[in-house]
Structures are given as C-alpha cells and as structure tokens.
Amino acid sequence: MIQFEKLGIFLAKPVAFLLVLIYLVQSILLIYLVTEKFQLEEQISYQHKQITELEEKLQIYNAIKDFQIGFNETEIGTLANVIYEESDRYHYDPMFVLAIILTESSFKKGQKSYVGARGLMQVVPFVGKDLAKRSGVEWNGSETLYDVEKNIKLGSLHLFEQILEFGDIKKALVAYNMGETRVRGMLRRNTELPDKYLNKVLENFKMLKENYSV
C-alpha cells in the first residue's frame, strides 16, 4: 500500500509539471494573441486615418484645380497639402480656408490688391512680416507673400489670431478683411459692421461644401 502511495506521488509530480507547463503555454499564447489583436487594430486605425487624409486632400485638390488661375499641377498639389495641414493645425474646415482664398484672391496666382495685400490669402506686407517673426516663417520682403506655402501659413495664423482676439468668427472675418484697428473702432462707436465680405465668404463656403464635401 505504501509503495502504491509512493508511486502515486511519483506520478503526480510529472502530471502537475505538465499542467503547469500547459497553463504557461496557454498564457503566453493568450498574451501573444491579445498583443497581435491590439497591433492589428492599431494598423487598421492608422490605415483608416491615412485613407481619410488622402480622401480629404483629394477633395481639396479638386476644388483648387477647378478654381485656380495660373498654377501648375505641382503647385496645386503643394497648395492642397499646406491647406490641409494648416486647417488641421487650427481646426479649420479646409473648405472654410478655400472659401476665404476664393473670396480674397479668386485663386489667382500673384494677386495684388490696390492696398498692397498680396498672394492667395491677401496678406498685407507689414502684417505678414510681423506674423513671420512670431511663426518662424522666413521673411524675405513682401515677395515672400507670393510663396503659396508661406502665404497660407501666415494667412491661417492671422485669421486664428483674429478669432482669439474677438472671440467671434464673424467679427474675426471682418477684421481679417478690413483690419483689426478699424473693426475695433467701429465696435467702440457701436457702428454696425459691414457684412458684404462675410456673406461672400459664407456663400463660397456653402458652395464648396456642397460640391467638395470633406
């Protein structure tokens, strides 16, 4: 009887070891599967984000291509990228930025207004120079504003600062067009702000959203 008990104990040790080994293998396998699942989900999420980004850039590209005057294919591609990036930076709808450009310069290359505002977003040189200092954009005189990348970066920042300054997108748009000082003066005098420019931007935005939904 004692011999059988000893034999049982002798047999139990390998069985217990085997059970522990199976448990460890199962645990490792489970960890591996969970890790693989997590990594796969991350890859799928990343791919989905990339696809969404490409779709948005394509829609921006198509809108620019339909309205631009004087830009080649490479420049249109550059424009689409920088408008997407700056919109993402300041949480703008890209079509909103396109609407401002369409209103300001009709998407015409090398545009200059009678007051000296330059480029697609019609930035005045002294404003552009000040913005460039604070944003790290290299400034090489007023001709800098004809560089589409720099113009979009400076114009987007200028609008963002107006939004922060007035706390109201409509007032910010009017200030972007007329100048901050004039708008502040009108507000102090309780003078009604003009809405022609604002309405034009909103009309263009609506049109772009309907035809190039992002």
Q: What is the mean pLDDT of residues 93-102?
A: 97
Q: What is the pLDDT of residue 193?
A: 95
Which residue among 86, 104, 161, 180 is the active-site one? 104
The token duo for 142 is 């007023």
Token pair for 16: 């217990």
What CATH number is associated with residue 183?
1.10.530.10
Q: How many domains does the chain have?
A: 1
Say if residue 205's pLDDT is above 90: yes
Does residue 5 have an active-site annotation? Answer: no
CB 78 within 8 A of CB 84: no
Instruction: Give the per-residue pLDDT at 4.
Output: 47
- What Cα–Cα distance (Å) separates residue 18 from each residue in 12, 21, 26, 45? 10, 5, 12, 40
pLDDT over 50 (residue 194):
yes
Mean pLDDT for the chain overall: 88
> For the whole model, what pTM was predicted?
0.78
Q: How confident is the model at residue 124, as a pLDDT?
A: 96
DSSP code per residue over 42-109: HHHHHHHHHHHHHHHHHHHHHHHHHH-BS--HHHHHHHHHHHHHHHHHHT--HHHHHHHHHHHHTTBT
Task: State residue 45's pLDDT score.
Answer: 64
Least confident piece of the model among 54-58, 128-132, 151-155: 54-58
Q: Which domain holds residue 47?
A: 2-211
